[in-house]
């Protein structure tokens, strides 16, 4: 298990909570390797030795030899002989209970995610875990009901995708590409299922595009597990989604849009290279688009609230699109 | 925190856990190394700060007096049943589910809280969770207002903030009794009672400008029972269907509209086109969904839906 880097482990700031967990942890794991303890607590071995040296001088009032916490080293292992009454970890705080319970609920309520027997257990492993954590948290669990994370799962598609990942099988997808408003047929080798920004995506090696692609599951029209092994190239790289799902590339078309206040939401929803706001709340934004179909649709949708300033041929295309669409209403 | 202070605090915790009766301040001063050498005043100040630090990390300090106590000054102890994490045992598949859930939070403060919670569970004997690598749940909270809103919701405390609403309005001050925060389609919303408007409102955290200030006492705000946060956030983003629009679609076009449509039939006036019926209440929101398809989608009615699309196209075509 690796811990979040913002855990309590670093340096001396979170030292007391760490020590209060360390004593019962060592008690529960006699003869554990120092390196494993350090990894679990996300500290260096040097830091861990300092912690252990400090434990050694702490104990029950009187602080005689029999009162102190006692730790025995043997080779690179450590055993706690005397816990001085610190036999159990401290209860979860409200924030700790909230973090675990809200996360477990989000998984439990993602349609299609649970209920599949697979690598992480039987159908209700998440629910069982949730019940146990809630019970252990006691009163601290109360605030968790005031925080919720909604993830759209796709009951129809998600279990099939998970099964393919589990058995390393190739998938055939009928996939809708919204920028072109067309459905494409392709075979893909599944790599990972991502639940990001409230939606679920399959990351896969697309054999048609010969590249790693993300497929939003609610745009999958049909999915079939093929009787072929999934074989993504060994050098197929997982996408780094830590900075958002869609990071435009330098080769994508740079578009300048004038947005009236009613269309200012565009700047919230799409990564922009620059945003200049005027006093009346209107914006001038520059963003990159992978395909012009997407920008043309966006511009049509915005109507009088938006205008393509550049490139000029794109602005011309939008004018033509609008004129052709308008002809049907004449 | 210095090692010396950590040592003193750990000894204090051990001492107060070990006692059944309340210990007077003077007894604590004698029993815990690190308090003895200071003057009375310095010791008192130090002890006050130490108590505060223990409470901050969630240690339940109990105050009271025993019949045996000689003076009226309250004593201290830590009740083991309030301090100790109850027994918890997870099966391997449950530990994997926990490991998966623990990967969800990507940012402070909940990523840190997850880390310290897992340490406590590991210390209680729960096995190291091994979550499946092919499944990656991630929830970010990059909005600057997130931490303040989360705290206010957790503590039941009213807040005030400057809010930039949609449309041509400058940011305005809002006073809110917060009921909950909810992440919906990757964005965080605050749900609560808008004090000035006297009504239930949903706020997008990304539209809060500047600092979120707390107002009044913690614990003063009580959320109504049976609150469905997800539904409230969803209502703000999704048009509730009150009317039906008839839209003609070119064959093969408008998949997302077809998927949402309640019915579909051949268009008698356009060869190879189909008419679908779409629920809507706000004609502008219907136009948001349809106008992007350009010449591949034609709104047949009702007139207000048709007019909303025609107005947008007219503005662009001229």
Task: Report which of residues A239 and A77 the model is more confident about.
Answer: A77
> What pLDDT does A173 receive?
96
Q: Is the pLDDT of residue A48 over 50?
A: yes
Q: Poorest-confidence range of A93-102, A104-113, A238-247, B301-310?
A: A238-247
- CA A183 to CA A78: how far, in whole Å? 60
Which tokens hold the place of B305? 């839906």
pLDDT at A125 over 90: no
Residue B141 CA: distances (Å) to CA of A78, B41, B146: 39, 45, 6
Q: Tell me what the mean pLDDT of segment B151-172 comes to.
A: 87
Measured distance CA(A47)–CA(A231) in Å, rounded: 43
User: Residue range A40-53: average pLDDT?
Assistant: 93
Which residues of chain A make contact with B18, given a CB cutoff of 8 A? 60-61, 84-85
- Minimum CA–CA partner of A218 in chain B: B256
CA distance A209 to chain B (A): 22
CA distance B107 to chain A (A): 9
Residue B223 confidence (pLDDT): 87
CB contact under 8 A, A296 and B101: no
pLDDT tier for residue B228 given thresholds of 50, 70 and 90: confident
The average confidence (pLDDT) of chain B is 90
Torsion, Cα of A296, A301, A302, A303 (10° steps): 90
Residue A326: name the closest of B286, B118, B269, B311 by CA. Answer: B311
Residue A119 has pLDDT above 60, yes or no: no
Mean pLDDT of B50-78: 86
CA distance B92 to B274: 53
Mean pLDDT score, A235-256:
82
CA separation for the pair A303, B310 (Å, rounded):
9
Confidence of residue B237 (pLDDT cuts 50, 70, 90): low
| Res B127: pLDDT | 86
Closest CA to A190 of A211, A218, A217, A161: A161
Q: What rounded mean pLDDT belongs to chain A?
A: 88
Q: Residue A50 phi/psi, 5° resolution?
A: -65, -40
* Whether B186 and A196 lie within 8 Å, measured CB to CB: yes
- Contact of A8 with chain B, judged by CB distance below 8 Å, is answered with yes
Over 70: is that where the pLDDT of B1 sits? Answer: no
CA distance A233 to chain B (A): 16
Q: Which of A1-15, A107-121, A216-230, A267-281 has the lowest mean pLDDT?
A: A1-15
Closest listed residue to residue B111, CA positions, set A9, A136, A17: A9
The whole-angstrom separation of Cα B267 and Cα B255 is 16
Q: Give the pLDDT confidence of B179-211 residue by residue, as tens digits.
A: 999 999 888 999 999 999 999 999 999 889 999
A165 contact B CB<8A: yes
User: And the tokens for A146?
Assistant: 């005031």
Q: How many residue contacts between A and B have a Cβ separation below 8 Å?
A: 400
CB B133 within 8 A of CB B100: no
Q: Which among B54, B8, B84, B50 has a CA at the least distance from the CA of A63? A: B8
- Range with the poorest average pLDDT among B5-9, B66-70, B198-202, B294-298: B66-70
* Three-state secondary structure string covering chain B: CCHHHHHHHHHHHHHHHHCCCCECHHHHHHHCCCCCCCCHHHHHHHHHHHHHHHHHCCCCEEEECCCCCCCCCCEEEECHHHHECCCCCCCHHHHHHHHHHHCCECCCCHHHHHHHHHHHHHHCCCCCCCCCCCEEEEECCCCCCHHHHHHHHHHCCEEEEEECCCCCCCCEEEEEEEEEEEEECCEEEEEEEECCCCEEEEEEHHHEEEEEEEECCCCCCCCCCCCCHHHHHHHHHCCCCCEEEEEEEECCCCHHHHHHCCEEEECCCCCCEEEEEEEECCHHHHHHHHHHHHHHEEEEECHHHHHHHHHHHHHHHC
Nearest CA in chain B to A54: B7
A7 at B interface, C-beta within 8 A: yes
Cβ distance A61 to B18 less than 8 Å, yes or no, reads yes
What pLDDT shows up at residue A116? Answer: 53
Give the Cα separation of B10 and B3 in Å (integer): 10
Distance from CA of B71 to the nearest CA of A (A): 22
The predicted pLDDT at position A121 comes to 46
pLDDT bracket for residue B70 (50, 70, 90) = low
A182-196 vs B135-138, strand pairing mode: parallel
Q: What is the pTM of this model?
A: 0.87
- Name residues whose C-beta falls within 8 Å of residue A93's C-beta, 6 or more positions apart in sequence: A140, B57, B58, B113, B116
Nearest to B294 among A104, A198, A300 (CB): A300
Residue B166 scores a pLDDT above 80 = no
CB contact under 8 A, B101 and A126: yes
Report chain B's C-alpha Rg in angstroms.
Answer: 30
B138-148 confidence digits (pLDDT tens):
998 888 999 99
User: Which residues 198-237 of chain B have a CB within 8 Å of chain A?
Assistant: 206-207, 223, 229-230, 233-234
A183 pLDDT exceeds 60? yes
- Cα gap A69→A79, rounded to integer Å: 11
Whether A1 sits inside 8 A of B99 (CB atoms) is yes
**Residue A66: Cβ within 10 Å count:** 11
Q: Can you tell me the mean pLDDT for A233-240?
A: 87
pLDDT value, residue B302: 94
pLDDT at B67 over 70: no
Residue B118 has pLDDT above 90, yes or no: yes
Q: Which residues of chain A are within 8 Å of residue B57 when distances are taken between CB atoms? A: 16-17, 90, 93
Q: What are phi and psi of B105, to 5 degrees?
A: -80, 130
Q: Does residue A110 have a pLDDT over 70? A: yes
Percent of chain A with pLDDT over 70: 93
Question: Higher confidence at residue B295 or residue B225?
Answer: B295
Are A125 and B291 a contacting pair at CB < 8 A?
no
Which residues 39-98 in chain A show a CB within 8 A of chain B?
A: 40-42, 50, 54-55, 57-61, 63, 84-98
ipTM of the complex: 0.89
Q: What is the pLDDT of residue A291?
A: 81
Write out chain A residues lying below 8 Å of B120, CB-based.
Answer: 21, 89-92, 96
Which residue, among A69, A154, A329, would best test binding to B if mutated, counting the most B CBs under 10 Å from its CB? A329
């Amino acid at each position: 298990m690796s811990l979040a880097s913002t855990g309590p482990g670093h340096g001396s700031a979170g030292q007391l909570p760490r020590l209060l967990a360390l004593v019962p942890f060592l008690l529960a794991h006699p003869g554990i390797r120092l390196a494993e303890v350090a990894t679990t607590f996300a500290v260096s071995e040097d830091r861990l030795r300092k912690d252990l040296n400090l434990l050694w001088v702490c104990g029950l009032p009187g602080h005689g030899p029999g009162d102190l916490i006692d730790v025995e080293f043997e080779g690179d292992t450590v055993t706690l002989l005397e816990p001085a009454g610190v036999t159990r970890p401290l209860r979860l705080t409200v924030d700790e209970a909230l973090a675990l319970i809200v996360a477990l609920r989000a998984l439990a309520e993602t349609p299609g995610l649970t209920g599949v027997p697979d690598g992480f257990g039987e159908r209700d492993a998440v629910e069982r875990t949730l019940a146990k954590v809630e019970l252990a948290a006691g009163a601290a669990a109360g605030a968790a009901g005031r925080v919720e994370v909604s993830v759209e799962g796709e009951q129809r598609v998600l279990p099939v995708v998970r099964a393919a990942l589990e058995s390393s099988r190739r998938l055939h997808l009928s996939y809708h590409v919204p920028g072109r408003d067309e459905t494409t047929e392709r075979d893909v080798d599944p790599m990972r299922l991502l639940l990001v920004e409230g939606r679920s995506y399959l990351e896969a090696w697309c054999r048609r595009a010969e590249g790693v692609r993300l497929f939003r599951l609610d745009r999958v029209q049909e999915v079939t597990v093929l009787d072929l092994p999934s074989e993504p190239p060994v050098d197929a790289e997982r996408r780094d989604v830590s900075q958002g799902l869609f990071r435009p590339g330098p080769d994508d078309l740079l578009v300048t849009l004038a947005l009236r206040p009613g269309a200012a939401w565009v700047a919230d929803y799409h990564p922009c290279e620059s945003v200049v706001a005027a006093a009346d709340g209107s914006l001038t934004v520059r963003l990159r688009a992978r395909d012009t179909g997407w920008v043309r649709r966006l511009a049509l949708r915005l109507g009088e609230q938006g205008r393509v300033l550049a490139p000029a041929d794109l602005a011309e295309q939008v004018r033509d699109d609008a004129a052709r669409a308008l002809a049907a209403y004449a | 925190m210095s090692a010396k202070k950590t040592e003193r605090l750990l000894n204090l915790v051990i001492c107060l856990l070990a006692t059944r009766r309340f210990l007077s301040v003077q007894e604590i001063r004698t029993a815990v190394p690190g308090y003895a050498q200071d003057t009375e005043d310095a010791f008192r100040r130090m002890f006050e700060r130490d108590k505060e630090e223990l409470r901050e990390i969630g240690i339940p300090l109990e105050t009271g007096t025993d019949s045996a106590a000689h003076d009226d000054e309250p004593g201290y102890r830590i009740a083991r049943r309030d301090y100790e994490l109850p027994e918890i045992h997870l099966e391997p598949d449950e530990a994997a589910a926990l490991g998966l859930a623990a990967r969800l939070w990507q940012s402070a403060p909940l990523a840190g809280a997850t880390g310290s919670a897992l340490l406590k569970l590991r210390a209680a004997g729960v096995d190291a969770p091994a979550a499946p690598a092919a499944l990656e749940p991630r929830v970010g909270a990059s909005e600057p207002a997130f931490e303040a809103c989360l705290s206010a919701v957790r503590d039941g405390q009213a807040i005030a903030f400057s809010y930039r609403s949609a449309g041509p309005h400058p940011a305005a001050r809002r006073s809110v009794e917060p009921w909950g925060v909810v992440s919906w389609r990757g964005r965080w919303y605050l749900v609560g009672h808008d004090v000035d408007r006297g009504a239930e409102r949903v706020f997008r955290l990304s539209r809060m400008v500047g600092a979120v200030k707390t107002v009044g006492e913690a614990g003063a705000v009580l959320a109504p029972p049976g609150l469905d946060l997800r539904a409230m956030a969803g209502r703000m983003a999704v048009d509730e269907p009150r009317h039906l629009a008839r839209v003609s679609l070119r064959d093969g076009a408008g998949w997302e509209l077809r998927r949402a449509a309640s019915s579909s039939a051949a268009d008698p006036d356009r060869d190879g086109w189909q008419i679908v019926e779409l629920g809507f209440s706000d004609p502008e929101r219907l136009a948001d969904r349809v106008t992007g398809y350009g010449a591949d989608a034609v709104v047949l009615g009702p007139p207000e839906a048709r007019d909303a699309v025609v107005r947008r196209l007219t503005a662009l075509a001229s």
